[in-house]
Structure 1
C-alpha cells in the first residue's frame, strides 16, 4: 500500500533543532574531487571513489593517498564515471573489492562492474564481471549502486538510460533493473527469469541508493522525473512500475503516465514530490544513535541534507538531518563504530563523520 507523508515544516524544524545538540561533525578527508562512494577497510582506513576515475585510500587520520593504480578506464561525461566500491564479504581473507563504473564512448556506453585484488596502492588481477546490455548513447542514468546479500550474491542497480525508459519494463533488457550475480559474475540459478538470467527486479528509473538490513531486507531508492522519487523494498521478480506508473511528471510538465497504480506493479514504501534527488542509502543498525535504529538514511542532492525515514506497519515518519552542512550528499554509510559517514560534493569534496556529541 502506498504510504506518503506530507512532512510538517514546523515539526521538522523543531526536530532538527532538538537533535542539533545530539550530534557533531568531523571532517575525515577534504580535497576530494567528486566523491561518489565510501567503503570501510579493516583497521580504520577508507576507500573513496572519485567520479573522474580515481580510487583513493584515506587513512584513519585523514591522509588522502595517491590514486590507487589499476582502476579501469571510465567514461567520464554527464553522470558517468567511477561510481560505487564495495568489499567482498570475505575481504580479510581474499582482499577482493568490486567497482561499478560507466565505460565506453558517447555513442556506446553503459554500466560495468569489475573485481580486483587490493594491495596497499594498486589493484591486481582486475576482471570485468558484468556489463549492462544493451548499451546506450546517453551519458546519464547509470544506477551503479551495489550491495552484497547475506547469501554472498551481489546486487547491482542499473538506470534506464533516460531516453530508453521503456526498456525498464523489458525483461530482456539490462536497463532499469536490479541485477543479481554471484561473486564471480555468473548468474545465480535461483534468479527469477530463465529468459533473462541476471535480472532480479525491474521497472526502475535511476536507482542510486541500495542497502540491505541484517535481516536481509533489500531497500532501494531511485530518482523520479520531476517529482516521484521513491523508496522501495526490493523483492525477487517484482515489477516497480517505471514508466507505466509514477508519482512524477516529465521535466516539461507532461505526463509520463496518467497512472499511479496498476495491477501487478509494486507501490513505493515512500515517495517525494517535489523531488529531493536521493543518492546514497544506509540502514542504521548501529549503537551510537539508538533512536535511529532501523531507520533508512537517505542522502539528498537537491535538498542538501539527509532524510531519516522510519517505517512500520502503519506509517512512515520522516525527519530532516544535517542540513547545516549545506552540501550535496552523494553517499551515506554507517561505519563499524556506528558513526554516520557522508560523502559531500562541492569544492572541495569531503567525507564527514557524524558522531554523538
Structure 2
C-alpha cells in the first residue's frame, strides 16, 4: 500500500534528454481531452462544445453531431471523453460537460453522459445523461470533470469514477455529504449506484459519493496496480496528488498548503488535521495541473516506465513524476520551450505519450524520444 505523506516538489534535471513534440493535428479550439479510436484515429473534445474525429494523418473532420446542450463559458463546456473498454464491439463512449439547468431555472453543473459513436463516426447515438451533479449553481468555475473506468482484480468492474469541483464559491460544500460539490463519485455505467459505495444507506449522504474534501480535480487515472489516482488544483499553492479511498475526507478547505488569492491563510491556515487525509504530494507554488497518465510502455527507455505524467497549465510544461516505494522521489520538467498550456496527457495504444495544448489554436502532439 502506498504511504500518503505530503512532500514538496523536488525538481530534477532531465535524465533522458529533452523529448521532441511531433505535431499530429492543429487548429483545435481549446481542446480538453483525447481518446484513441481504432485505425489510428483520435477523438478530441473542444471546450466550446465540439467533438471531433481526427484522422491518423491529422485531418480534422467536421464536428460530431448529437451532443446535448452545454453551458459553455469560463472553464465550462465539453470536457473529458473516454472510450468504453469494449468500444471495439459496442462503440460506447462517455463524456462529461457543464450542463445547463432546465429552461426556467438558473445555474449549471457537471454531468456525465454515455453514447454510441455511429459507424461512420459522424454522430452520437442513444445519448443519455447518467449523472448530474447536485445542486446546480450559477458559476463558470471548478467543474472538475475527469472520467476513469473502474477496475477490480485486473478486470473492468462496470463502474465509472467522475471528479467534481466545488464550483469555487461553494468551497464549504466539499465538507458536507448532502451535495456533489468537491467530490469524487462512483456510479455504474448505466447510472446506477454501486451497492458497495461507502455512503450507501447513510442518512443525509448522497450515495454516489466515493470521497470528499476535494477542490477542483482535473486529472485522474488508474495506476498500474488498478488503483485510482487523481490530482486537484489548490489556490496559489497546494496542488495535490491524492489516492482517493472510499469514504475518506481529503480536507479542502479545512486543510491546505494553498492560500487566499492575493495572500493570507484559508480558514485556520493548517495543513493537517485528524480524520483528514494528507496528500501524497503537493506543489507549492501551484503548477495548475491538468491531465494525468502513467507510462507503462518502454518507448522512452526503462527509466521512464512507471512514471506519472501531469500537464501544467500555468507554467506550460509536462511534468514527469518519478515514484519509488510509494513516494515521489523526483520530478522532471519536459517541453519547457513549447510555450503552450498542457491540458491533457495520455498514453496511446501504440505506447507513445500524446498531449493536448489548450489554446485558441490548440494542438495534438506526440512525444518522441531524443
Bin the TM-score by the shorter chain. Answer: over 0.9
Deviation per CA, 1:256-311, whole angstroms, max 9, x where unpaired? 13210011111111101111000100111112023211111000000100111122
- Is contact 2:8–2:284 with CA below 8 Å preserved after alignment? no
Deviation per CA, 1:106-144, whole angstroms, max 9, x where unpaired? 941100111111012100110111000011111100001
TM-score (ref. length: structure 2)? 0.91
What is residue 75 of structure 2 aligned with on the other side?
79
2:308 is aligned with 1:296:
yes
Which residues of 2 match residues 1-357 of structure 1 at below 5 A?
1-8=4-11, 12=12, 14-15=13-14, 19-20=17-18, 23-104=19-100, 107-119=106-118, 120-150=121-151, 151-194=157-200, 195=202, 196-257=206-267, 258-289=269-300, 290-313=302-325, 315-316=327-328, 317-357=330-370
Higher helix share: 1
Deviation per CA, 1:59-101, whole angstroms, max 9, x where unpaired? 1111110000001121011111000001111111111111100
Structure with higher RCO (Cα < 8 A, 6+ apart): 2
**2:31, 2:113 → 1: CA distance?**
19
RMSD in angstroms over aligned alpha carbons?
1.5
TM-score (ref. length: structure 1)? 0.95
TM superposition outliers: structure 1 runs of 4+ over 6 Å? none
- Is contact 1:287–1:338 with CA below 8 Å preserved after alignment? yes
**1:315, 1:159 → 2: CA distance?**
26
Deviation per CA, 1:164-188, whole angstroms, max 9, x where unpaired? 0011111121110001011111111
- Is contact 2:9–2:284 with CA below 8 Å preserved after alignment? no
What is residue 154 of structure 2 aligned with on the other side?
none
**1:332, 1:274 → 2: CA distance?**
21
**1:287, 1:132 → 2: CA distance?**
39
Runs of at least 5 residues in structure 2 that lack an aligned partner in the other structure: 152-156
- Is contact 1:107–1:138 with CA below 8 Å preserved after alignment? no
- The aligned length equals 350
